């Protein structure tokens, strides 16, 4: 299974800027064997999807609601995303949890809705600096996964990608060492196997998300339990993002 390198643009770029980005990116990664996705603002989905064409780049969204329709001002449903050609959707990003009230329960609801409609979720988990310093990272991560996977069947979990994003390394310029990242992604893999079985755990890709960039991508991706990256700031410039996608190549 190829690594997944997914860009998370957060609240950046207009539709025009987004289309220009894709035009610049396509020739830079045309020889890559990695799976590449761009998770862009809702307002950019149409222009990015159109510009992607047959490039093989996958279209992703940054969040979704768990119900199909109704009086939920400002929300976006799975059907709306599918209508625009979206394949991946980020669920439970730390910024959604901290700033906008996502809980393990709402993350679980969103996962169920995404899977029901055939979207591929990228589930985000990760600890704060305080949690790591207290020595309870393992228990905290397990709790997030247990809550997110509540009532999910084996075949449903097998469709999920998990992104380990240490909150203390998001947008701070700090990065977990390859050994730290490998240790925690290993915990995620083993705990998924404990909850289900090895066959399911083997199908769940675990990404690293926390200031991955061109200079550290290769070392991080050499960890056996890391199968790609969820890229924030370094995904906003085509050359920077392409350097991660093409990691290890001269």
For residue 245, tell me if it sits in a domain.
no
Domain with residue 182: its CATH number is 3.20.20.70
Residues in the chain, how many?
250
DSSP state of 177: -
Instruction: Give the range of the structural domain holding residue 66, as residue numbers without chain letter.
Output: 4-234
For residue 157, tell me if it sits in a domain.
yes
Task: Provide φ and ψ at 51, rounded to 5°.
Answer: -75, -25
Tens of pLDDT, residue by residue over 208-222, are: 998 899 999 999 999
Tens of pLDDT, residue by residue over 42-73, are: 999 999 999 999 999 999 999 999 999 999 99
Domain total for the chain?
1
For residue 146, tell me if it sits in a domain.
yes
* d(C-alpha 158, C-alpha 198), whole Å: 11
The pTM is what? Answer: 0.96
93 is catalytic: yes
For residue 247, tell me if it sits in a domain.
no
| Dihedral over Cα of 193, 199, 202, 203: its sign | negative
For residue 160, tell me if it sits in a domain.
yes
Catalytic-role residue among 95, 127, 165, 247 = 165
For residue 73, tell me if it sits in a domain.
yes
Catalytic-role residue among 35, 51, 93, 247 = 93
Task: Provide φ and ψ at 110, rounded to 5°.
Answer: -70, -40
For residue 248, tell me if it sits in a domain.
no
Name the pLDDT band for 173 (thresholds 50, 70, 90): confident
Name the pLDDT band for 153 (thresholds 50, 70, 90): very high
117 is catalytic: no
* d(C-alpha 164, C-alpha 234), whole Å: 17
Name the pLDDT band for 250 (thresholds 50, 70, 90): very low
């Amino acid at each position: 299974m190829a690594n997944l390198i997914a860009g998370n643009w957060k609240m950046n770029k207009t539709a025009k800027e987004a289309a220009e980005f894709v035009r610049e990116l396509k020739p830079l990664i045309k020889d890559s064997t990695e799976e590449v996705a761009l998770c862009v603002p809702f307002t950019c989905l149409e222009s990015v999807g159109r510009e992607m064409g047959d490039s093989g780049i996958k279209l992703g969204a940054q969040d979704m609601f768990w119900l199909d329709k109704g009086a939920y001002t400002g929300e976006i449903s799975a059907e709306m995303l599918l209508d625009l050609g979206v394949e991946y959707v980020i669920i439970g990003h730390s910024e959604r949890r901290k700033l906008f009230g996502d809980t393990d329960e709402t993350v679980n609801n969103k996962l169920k809705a995404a899977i029901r409609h055939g979207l591929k979720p990228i589930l985000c988990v990760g600890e704060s600096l305080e949690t790591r310093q207290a020595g309870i990272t393992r228990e905290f991560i397990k709790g997030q996964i247990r809550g997110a996977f509540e009532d999910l069947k084996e075949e449903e979990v097998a469709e999920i990608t998990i992104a380990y994003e240490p909150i203390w390394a998001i947008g701070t310029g700090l990065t977990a060492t390859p050994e730290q990242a490998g240790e925690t992604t290993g915990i995620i893999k083993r705990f998924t196997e404990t909850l289900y079985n090895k066959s399911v755990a083997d199908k769940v890709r675990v990404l690293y998300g926390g200031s991955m960039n061109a200079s550290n991508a290769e070392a991080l991706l050499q960890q056996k339990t890391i199968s790609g990256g969820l890229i924030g700031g370094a995904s906003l410039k085509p050359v920077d993002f392409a350097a991660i996608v093409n990691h290890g190549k001269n």
